[in-house]
Chains A and B, each alone.
Chain A
């Protein structure tokens, strides 16, 4: 039996075609009926224009696109022999703003998608309007972001060699108080316990100790056996090196190095989305992958029991928020405002360059590749996280999200698993 299902509320929409047999999902095809052609548009533009064009790929991870594009240019300069050394201040500001974007994304996903849909799925609706909590959290933290980046979405303040903003202690204090407010709300409402207590746990943590809305979500998931479903290939990859993220790939119990040169893109039949693989194999990206590669104790201990299940995947994303909030606090404390913001006094006039920019976006590794001839872009590739997770698969194996959905008893459950990957349609097809 074939059933078509439209999935909305994923920054655009996707169409899933389910094949069912014996009351279970046997196969799924994922299609996006949407295309804008951003990579084509970049061709012929001045190399710096990528800094403002690529963020427009996505209204929700636009800042990550900005960082990837600025790094691609910096990498190109460096390969051409121009030294690009960011000041610790510029680096810190970029990390802080990136953390803020990740936090707002994860919390919107949690409150607008995962929690209400899980409640509906298992018939445990509270009728609460979670949108308000989502927007309170995300607006508070994006204000902190905007203090350095000017606005969100579509910030433009990162330039080759640093950032354009010159914050004073006033802005830093404002950012600190916005961050404190986010943490307070998070403690009271999301996890229902003090930060220190939460962070003091490693593997000994019993999920039952977590209270608040996150606790409620975990409780429902455990009750429904969601630690047993949604498993995929249990293979993870991370390319970005920042915040507390480390690059590498994790398979079985080993973590090994990766090289972005082996990332390949391929056109897929019947969809505007391209598939992406690493040495011909498929990998999951995102918060679960980041935790697995960095051997984050809490996620590792959960993974030991539940593998890459729905429960582990969802836990990892919210868990990442706690760590990001904590890390951001330290970042602000360590900012030295007397350091320079941008360190390339004049932008080198280079005729030709080729560079790769990598960043850990909310949904996983984001890669930009730029090729510039006579100051103008001749080729630009944007490889977004969702492409990794939503590839159709190849002759050897199914795509990551498809494998996770296969075996589900109902289409509703499968769609929920699909959303646990935090899908972004506009990024995937651009």
Chain B
């Protein structure tokens, strides 16, 4: 395969990916009689669709387009890495968003195909058998499987708020055991990453994020729901690099959560021009003005929603005029405050209090943030003085 690159600094990376893929190739497949290529073909995707998708994922991971063929190769060896998907305390929205509401896109096919040794909402086996499948999968793929967990972990009342399976095992014990023998652990969605809605004050069930109950490193892929691209991207990243990605202060992969919603927002021009929606349904709303004053938390939220959007790129909350609620930040239910009201001066009692002091990973982000806060205050003043545009 010929490699065309303009930047030679990628040479090393390219070679290491190739080595990694070759290494994975030597591992046994999950199902010798099948392959991802065939599965994709069977579902009616052409090679062109597949390459298009690989190109998109390459871009998602901020790699140069010359890596596209490698991405395609990587996905073909993905079936060497079985996935165990666990449901904890949750609404099932994450897998709805990834697996069921996604059209049979290549994203969901890949998940469908690479194992899902234990995914309750998907698998046909029920009850006792599901439980055996989980134990079997952990035993069989010890030290090799990727663990994906959806939902928060209730720890209150000795974990009694979530019992699963015929032996009424506690959710937290299942998650702990599955974490012990996993090669990599991804917390999918805000619940699993930070405890989520059930962990909001007063946290009746003592729900916590997965990282609180295991001593092993957990990569957080928050969002309520998270974008399917971020989930698949995290997986592909692991396949290619064989290591954990660069993470921010909250263990979120930087390639996805590096920027604030505000940085890449389509309404940003209006923010900069001091043009705000003052009330839902006003003239500014019709013009698509900035939603800061009606409660958008985009300036404090790190995620790439404006790029990925939802429902296969159809739309996202800012596009329909509601604004960002901060769903990929820890404890946003309590700290980001009221829907429909700006955070403005309340900022320092929030998620980010204290962050400034120990800003290690996100130093730059935080500095930018404070600059923005000043900007917002200034804009807010300007726009109250300025007459609303005709």
- Residue numbers of A with Cβ under 8 A of B are 4-9, 11-13, 33-38, 40-41, 44-46, 48-49, 51-53, 56-60, 62, 104, 108, 112, 116, 131-132, 134-136, 138-140, 142-143, 145-154, 156-157, 159, 161-162, 164-166, 272, 340-347, 426
| Stretch from B22-30, B94-102, B213-221, B254-262 that touches the partner | B94-102
In chain B between 203 and 235, which residues have their CB closer than 8 angstroms to a CB of chain A? 203-205, 207, 224-225
Interface pair B314/A143, CB less than 8 Å apart: yes
With CB as the reference atom, state the residue of chain B lying closest to A342: B281
Per-residue CB contact flags for chain B residues 165-199 toward chain A (1 = under 8 Å, else 0) read: 11010000000000000000000000000001110
B125 to chain A, nearest CB (A): 8
Given the interface pairs A36-B197, A48-B340, A134-B100, the reply to whether A59 lies near B312 with Cβ below 8 Å is no
Selected A-B contacts with CB under 8 Å, 24 pairs: A5-B127, A6-B127, A7-B126, A11-B92, A13-B164, A35-B161, A41-B198, A41-B203, A41-B333, A46-B341, A53-B333, A57-B91, A134-B100, A135-B99, A135-B101, A139-B311, A142-B311, A150-B315, A151-B315, A153-B93, A164-B320, A164-B321, A344-B280, A346-B279
Interface pair A152/B317, CB less than 8 Å apart: no
B109 to chain A, nearest CB (A): 9
Besides A12-B92, A46-B339, A426-B91, 6 other CB < 8 A contacts? Answer: A151-B225, A153-B97, A157-B317, A162-B281, A166-B321, A426-B92
A150 to chain B, nearest CB (A): 4
A40 CA / B285 CA spacing, docked (Å): 34
A150 CA / B327 CA spacing, docked (Å): 14
If over half of A's interface residues share one DSSP class (helix, strand or loop), that class is named, otherwise mixed; here it is: mixed
Q: B128, B161, B281, B311: which contacts A152 (Cβ < 8 A)?
A: B311
Q: B96, B165, B202, B325: which contacts A40 (Cβ < 8 A)?
A: B202
Size range of the chain B interface in the assembly = 35 or more
A56 CA / B102 CA spacing, docked (Å): 19
B124 near A: Cβ within 8 Å?
yes
- Residue numbers of B with Cβ under 8 A of A are 43, 87, 89-97, 99-104, 108, 112, 120-124, 126-128, 130, 154, 161-166, 168, 196-198, 200-205, 207, 224-225, 279-282, 285-286, 288, 309-312, 314-322, 325, 333, 337-341
Given the interface pairs A6-B126, A150-B310, the reply to whether A11 lies near B315 with Cβ below 8 Å is no
A340 CA / B282 CA spacing, docked (Å): 8
Interface pair A34/B161, CB less than 8 Å apart: yes
Which residues does chain B contribute within 8 Å of A48, judged by CB atoms? Answer: 338-340
A285 CA / B243 CA spacing, docked (Å): 51
Interface pair B281/A341, CB less than 8 Å apart: yes
Interface pair B91/A59, CB less than 8 Å apart: yes
Which residues does chain B contribute within 8 Å of A56, judged by CB atoms? Answer: 91, 93, 196-197, 224
A153 to chain B, nearest CB (A): 4
A317 CA / B90 CA spacing, docked (Å): 26
